[in-house]
Amino acid sequence: MSNHLPHPNHDRGLEFDLSTMISRRSLGMFLGAGGAAAALAACTPGGSGTTAGTSTSAATASATASAASTTATPTASPTLTRAIAECGMEIPQETAGPYPGDGSNGPNVLAASGVVRQDITSSFGTGSASAAGVPLTFTLTLLDNANGCVPLAGAAVYAWHCDRDGRYSMYDSGLANENYLRGVQEADASGQVTFTSIFPGAYPGRWPHIHFEVFESMSNATAAGQVLAVSQIALTKAACDDVYATPGYEDSIANMKRTTLQSDNVFGDDGGIYQLATMTGSASAGYTAGLNVTT
């Protein structure tokens, strides 16, 4: 293992990323409002592009406005509806482990510009490496247990995991200057965050997993502390067996045989019942995983 060297700051840090996001969001809201106004004018009798007094044009405009009204009504996705219905048990609090990269044990990737991203496959800033492996997209649905399980819109999630060889960027030998498989996302209106990554390998003593920390807001997601939850996603045995049979995951096969969910030092107390992801896909097409996170 390499020494825990402080990771260099990239550009101007997370605060710079946040200000950039806010500026872009404001621009998007302005453009969105302009587009909505234009659409409304086009669908209003007597407005631009409409001939006043023409019954056919009025009927068309009315139908268009009615259709727009129907499609504009937001509805909860089946995933969110089910998550809220099943809400009640808070996600178990777990260790962040020895390789968090959040400043609590050596380097702090949360202070680096570029950490706010959906695709965490490659390193950013001064890093240049990419993690190879079977594609994995995972989504967390964040719910506020103390307030009737409403979605935690605007919360932030920092997620990280090992590569297919069981190594962690920023810590393992040869990876001190890399930061792949680490990233931060802000929860949308449904309380969801989604990351694009690769399927992690299995290393000795641990069941295949993904670490994550939940922060109340993006402004809090700059260092360890002020977290709502620290937990881990457990991947299903069926998916692991499928992926580990492919080239590049050879070591994971032997490591999986020595560990079960019940013997794992994190998931073993309850078999990972509240942290086991719902997974679909295949090793050839890639996998998707989902987990409800109640805080």
Give tens-digit pLDDT for 184-218: 999 999 999 999 999 999 999 999 999 999 999 99
Q: Tokens for 17?
A: 């990323």
- Side chain identity at residue 124, one-letter code: F
What is the token pair recorded at 187?
A: 């929860």
Task: Give me the pLDDT at residue 75, please.
Answer: 52
> Quick one: pLDDT band at residue 224, thresholds 50, 70, 90?
confident
Helix (H) or strand (E) holding 230: strand 227-234
Please tell me the predicted confidence (pLDDT) of residue 36: 38
Q: Is 243 in a helix, a strand, or coil? A: helix
Q: What share of the chain is helix, strand, coil (3-state, %, to 5)?
A: 30, 20, 50
> pLDDT tier at 53 (50, 70, 90 boundaries)?
very low
Q: What pLDDT score was predicted for residue 7? A: 33
- The strand pairing partners of 96, in sequence order, are none
Phi and psi torsions of 251, nearest 5°? -65, -25
- 37-41, 61-65, 112-116: least confidently modelled range: 37-41
Q: How far apart are CA 48 and CA 41, in angstroms?
A: 6
Query: Of 34-38, 62-66, 225-229, which has the strongest mean pLDDT?
Result: 225-229
Q: Which residue is associated with the tokens 């492919």?
A: 246
| Helix (H), strand (E) counts: the chain | 5, 9
Q: What pLDDT shows up at residue 80? A: 85
Using CB atoms within 10 Å of the CB of residue 197, give its burial: 0 to 12 exposed, 13 to 18 middle, 19+ buried: buried
- The whole-number pLDDT of residue 47 equals 36
Q: What confidence score (pLDDT) does residue 76 get?
A: 66
Amino acid at 43: C
pTM of the model: 0.75
Between CA 290 and CA 32 the distance in angstroms is 30
